[in-house]
Amino acid sequence: MAKGTRYKDDEPKQKKKLALGWKIAISVLSVILALVIAAIAVFFYYFGGLKTTYLTSDTSQLGIDSQVIENTEKKDITNIALFGVDSRDHDDTGRSDAVMIMSVDKIHGKIKLTSIARDTRVYISDQYSYDKIAHAYAYGGPEMSIKTINQNFNTNIKEYVTVNFDQLATVINSLGGITLTITEEERISANENIAALGTGTPIRQSGTVLLTGEQAVGYARIRKIDSDSMRAQRQRNVLNAIFEKMKGKSSLEYAEFVRQLLPNVETSLDYGDLMGLATIMFGPVTMEEMAFPNDNSNARGGIFYSDGAWYYEYDLDVASQQLHQFIYEEE
């Protein structure tokens, strides 16, 4: 009888223990759920503006040679085509006013920028034959432009980022501006471009100056005072200044910059790609650059054909070898 009494006395205690266990489990689940909701909220706060436009996965459609894939695919180096589009109308595809390759080299801790002169004469397609490399973007968007780069420079590029020059100003302003060294002639020409844009204030002095986004875009658009090569150099200067500004950012500041950046770009990269590539920014990283044509290109520039267009011409096979040595650091 005593044992039966003890059993009845213990029953409420067991129920209390079960109730307490359920409360703890529910509390833990609630915390986990709250963390998941918070993570989703943070994700959409920082990455909600990302609009990914995937390219074809067929490498032949991107003009990538099978031998090039075999030689480069296993290396921890990612090549991304960068296009600066000169289009005031956001519904217009526009021509690629800037054509660059950004190589994220995690092997050597480097970001390498290669600019290709927009007037470089290349083969585009059977339909368009030979034309300026900058025109490929207008003919077929980023996919045709990437194919044109791959087939003429023997590269392995599958991704791209496009920034409209108007949007580039917003990106630079989100960083608090960038510091560049400009000549008096560049200052005057940049101010003419700023006035044509109808927004922004003129640059007041030459030398090393902090430029707003609008001023930096006016600088990058300088065309008349010198050569196409110098124009490409100024565009690389702007990108280098952006990267230098980003290098000093904390991970939270970097994430905020990404949040500001994403609505202003068109890209084939998704958020996983972006975060994977971004890890290089949190370690020691150096910037290197190359341009085509260069002093070793034996290039000629002028009007050589019946279409009356001004072109740069140089040996693209030699350029391809130079580019591979630069990107992969192989002899």
Question: Does residue 181 contact residue 205 with C-beta atoms inside 8 Å?
Answer: no
pTM listed for this prediction: 0.77
Select from 82, 106, 93, 87 the least CA-distant residue to 236.
82
Q: What percent of the chain has pLDDT over 70?
A: 80
Q: Rounded to 5 degrees, what are φ and ψ at 60?
A: -65, -30
User: Given CA atoms 153, 159, 164, 167 in this order, what sign does their dihedral have?
Assistant: negative
How many angstroms separate the CA atoms of 204 and 315, rounded? Answer: 42
Q: What is the pLDDT of residue 45?
A: 52
Structure letter (DSSP) for residue 109: T
pLDDT for residue 85: 82
Q: Quick one: three-class SS letters along 144-181?
A: HHHHHHHHHHCCCCCEEEEEEHHHHHHHHHHCCCEEEE
Fold type of domain 66-328: Aminopeptidase (3.40.630)
For the chain, the domains span 1-47, 66-328
Alpha-carbon gap, residue 38 to 262, rounded angstroms: 21
Spans of the chain, pLDDT less than 50 = 1-2, 6, 37, 40, 89-91
